[in-house]
């Protein structure tokens, strides 16, 4: 796991990384599409702003399929705070991409377990995730893998913790009772199969979770620590988010190359 501490915009750096990977992808008969896993949330808004800009400047998503990390259970797809709506509003309505290239879990499926199983299968059939982009929760969650989630979990139905419900209330007029309590999410095991992982973190609220990411031993209380054993994970953090990480860690991480 590598730390990329930056004074630049975290969304811009991450969008630039995606651009480079998509541009250099060579489509073959066996692997026709670049598989990109995409997040929602406040941190992702900047990322999509730049990705839209790059697409307007000529970046093509013709050979890309996307899989969103998660979706609330039971929230109507057209609800303004559903992740379907978020993705349309922030990315898909502004770039050239067909419906068939977009995959988002259906939180209103008649059988949620089957929906999760099929999603996992579909990712596999596309040859697995090439690049996973995620945010991080204050409690160290990735997607909706809350503290206590199994490190080998696949796409599943998850209960949200009170911490996450409180953090997401800002998207529901500050009303905790409006926030769904369950979600469908890729599992930590799903994420670990991705060839590359980028986790974006901005602001002081994320500094404690990043402290655990880098300074703690692997443990399920801090789901982010699963990535310590992933061979190509980059945590892209601004100064405030990286504030609790030790000097030693920062020096060691300074050696890695990011945008290449
Ligand atoms: P945020 O969420 O970008 O809205 O802070 C990130 C997350 O909870 O994964």
Spell out the domains of the chain, with CATH numbers in brackets.
2-253 (3.40.50.1360)
23 alpha carbon to ligand 1 midpoint, in Å? Answer: 27
Question: What is the tens place of the pLDDT at every residue in 181-225?
Answer: 999 999 999 999 999 999 999 999 999 999 999 999 999 999 999
Of 194, 159, 227, the closest CA to residue 67 belongs to 194
Statement: residue 114 has pLDDT above 60: yes
Q: Hey, which of 6-10, 140-144, 252-256 has the most confident mean pLDDT?
A: 140-144
Chain segment 71-80, per-residue pLDDT in tens = 999 999 999 9
Looking at residue 249, its pLDDT comes to 86
Nearest CA to 17 out of 139, 119, 130 is that of 130
**Which of ligand 1's atoms lies nearest the C-alpha of 164?**
8
pLDDT of 260 higher than 50: no
| Percent of the chain with pLDDT strictly greater than 90 | 92
What confidence tier does 178 reach under pLDDT thresholds 50, 70, 90? very high
pLDDT at 254 over 80: no
Measuring from atom 2 of ligand 1, which residue has the nearest CA?
41
pLDDT at 181: 96
Closest-CA residue to 224 (of 260, 258, 191, 183): 191
CA of 137 to the centre of ligand 1 (A): 5
Q: Please state, for a pLDDT cut of 70, what percent of the chain lies above it.
A: 97
Confidence of residue 7 (pLDDT cuts 50, 70, 90): confident
In this predicted structure, the answer to whether residue 40 has a pLDDT above a threshold of 80 is yes
Closest CA to 153 of 118, 113, 191, 188: 188
Q: Is the pLDDT of residue 111 over 90?
A: yes
Question: In sequence order, what DSSP letters do the residues of 9-65 get, joined into one string?
Answer: -HHHHHHHHHHHHHHH----SS--SEEEEE--SHHHHHHHHHHHHHHHTT---TTEE
Instruction: Say what the pLDDT of residue 258 is.
Output: 64
DSSP annotation of 245 reads S
Name the average pLDDT for the chain. 95
Its pTM stands at 0.96
Cα of 44 vs centre of ligand 1, distance in Å, is 8
* Gap from CA of 12 to ligand 1 centroid (Å): 17
pLDDT at 257: 58
Query: Does residue 161 register a pLDDT over 80?
Result: yes
Whether residue 137 has its Cβ less than 6 Å from ligand 1? yes
pLDDT exceeds 90 at position 256: no
What are the beta bridge partners of residue 103? 67
Q: Which pLDDT belongs to residue 62?
A: 97
Q: Is the CB of 140 under 6 A from ligand 1?
A: no
The CB of 136 under 6 Å from ligand 1? The reply is yes
């Amino acid at each position: 796991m590598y730390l990329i501490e930056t004074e630049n915009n975290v969304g811009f750096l991450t969008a630039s990384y995606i651009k480079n990977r998509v541009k250099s992808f060579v489509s073959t008969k066996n692997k026709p599409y670049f598989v990109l896993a995409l997040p929602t949330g406040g941190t992702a808004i900047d990322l999509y702003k730049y990705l839209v800009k790059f697409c307007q400047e000529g970046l093509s998503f013709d050979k890309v399929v996307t899989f969103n990390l998660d979706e609330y259970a039971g929230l109507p797809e057209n609800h303004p705070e559903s992740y379907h709506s978020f993705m349309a509003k922030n990315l898909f309505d502004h770039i050239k991409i067909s419906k068939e290239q977009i995959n988002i879990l259906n939180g209103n499926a008649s059988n949620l377990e089957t929906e999760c199983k099929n999603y996992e299968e579909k990712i596999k059939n596309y040859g697995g995730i090439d690049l996973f982009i995620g945010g991080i929760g204050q409690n160290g969650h990735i997607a909706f893998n809350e503290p206590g989630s199994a490190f080998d979990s696949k796409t599943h139905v998850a209960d949200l913790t009170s911490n996450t419900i409180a953090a997401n209330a800002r998207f529901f007029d500050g009303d905790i009772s409006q926030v769904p309590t369950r979600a469908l999410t890729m599992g930590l095991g799903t994420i670990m199969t991705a060839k590359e992982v980028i986790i974006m973190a901005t602001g002081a609220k994320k500094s404690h979770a990043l402290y655990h990411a880098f300074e703690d031993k692997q443990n399920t209380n801090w789901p982010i620590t699963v990535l310590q054993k992933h061979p190509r994970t980059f945590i892209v953090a601004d100064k405030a988010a990286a504030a609790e990480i030790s000097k030693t860690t920062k020096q060691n991480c300074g050696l890695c190359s990011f945008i290449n």
